[in-house]
Amino acid sequence: MTITLKVCEKTKDKMLEFYKDLKKEVTPQYAFFQAVDGDSVVTLYTSMKAVFQGKDADLASSFWIETEKINSGHAVVTNSDNKKKETKVLESKYDARDFLNCTSVGSDEVGTGDYFGPIVVTASYVKKEDVPYLQSLGVCDSKKLTDAKIVEIAPQISKKILYKSIILTNKDYNKYHKDYNMNKVKAIMHNKVLYDLMQENLKPDYIIVDEFAKEYKYYEYLKEAKYVQRNITFITKAEDKNMAVASSSIISRYIFLKEFNKISKDININLPKGSGMEVDKAGKLVIKNFGVKKLEEIAKLNFKNTERIINN
């Protein structure tokens, strides 16, 4: 089976990020990349056509079809096999306003791109009547807010809404990363806070997660979990479209900042965020002052920074 999807710039960028660790070494001519996704091969061409080939092509493409519908309002999909070729234009079933002015549960995480500092995931319950108040505070995606603004409004948000958070220290993260990739770690953490929050007998219009994995893959990551939260709506850029996800983003960031500053204070080193060259310098200083063991406690060792810090 071969499925071809015409993608917009936003979907292209998301695909480049999603498949960066799955890319084949050899890229076909006129293609951004070619990757193996389960039993399918995915190729994104410079013509902005994504081609999914293999027995799981329908599953591999379903996530990106929905993503394209959300990003551009429709998806042009060509489904072909040896007997026929059929092209369909699928309209988006989502309206961003539905996700904003509603009662919802939403989750979001921070810290997955930071070498130092924990991963924090929060799920929040926002009632429709609380949306105007949260908007008045300036609630939006935490990545668009300064740390000072987050420190200012996060306590006000947490007093107004119900939420659950979970913190994964890097010491614990380093125990799992050899067996679990980052998306599996995130899926397990999201499922935990969502399930726990939904035990409060809530009745939201939507349970929303900002897409970081295909829906079928998300649940595949949770096949060993005892309890799994179902009926989730996965949407891209959810922090901009839903107040529960945006609130979770801010609360997670607030907790992350507190934990991050605590680590810096404990070792008396002003640790930088992210994973750039300044992080490498700080990592070398950590080893110099405390040894490699300390790095194992406060850093995500599977990041490329570790190799640069230890070997250079």
Ordered by start, the domain boundaries in the chain are: 2-91, 97-263
Tens place of pLDDT per residue across the chain (312 aa): 899 999 999 899 989 988 888 889 889 999 999 998 878 899 999 999 999 998 888 888 888 988 888 888 888 999 887 555 677 676 666 555 578 889 999 999 999 999 999 999 999 999 999 999 999 999 987 888 899 999 999 999 999 999 999 999 999 999 987 778 899 999 999 999 999 999 999 999 999 998 888 888 999 999 999 999 999 999 888 888 899 999 999 999 999 999 999 999 999 999 999 999 999 999 999 999 999 999 999 999 999 999 999 987
Q: Are 211 and 114 in contact (CB under 8 A)?
A: no
pLDDT value, residue 179? 79
Distance CA 285, CA 270 (A): 10
pLDDT value, residue 82? 55
Distance CA 173, CA 121 (A): 13
172 CB-near residues (< 8 Å, 6+ apart):
none
The distance in angstroms from the start CA to the end CA of the chain is: 47
Radius of gyration of the chain (CA): 21
pLDDT value, residue 141? 73
268 CB-near residues (< 8 Å, 6+ apart):
none
Stated as kind and residue range, the H or E segment containing 289 is: helix 277-290
Residue type, 87: T
pLDDT value, residue 37? 82
Q: Are 100 and 264 in contact (CB under 8 A)?
A: no
CATH tag for 2-91 (out of 1.10.3210.10, 3.30.300.30, 3.30.310.10, 3.60.15.10) = 3.30.310.10
Phi, psi angle pair for 137, to nearest 5°: -80, -15
Distance CA 89, CA 134 (A): 37
Distance CA 56, CA 41 (A): 9
pLDDT value, residue 158? 96
Distance CA 111, CA 105 (A): 21
Q: Are 154 and 124 in contact (CB under 8 A)?
A: no
Measured N-to-C along each axis, helices 57-72 and 9-18 cross at an angle, to the nearest 10 degrees, of 140
| Chain centroid offset of residue 308 CA | 26
DSSP class of residue 299 equals: B
Q: Specify the CATH architecture of the domain 97-263.
A: 2-Layer Sandwich (3.30)
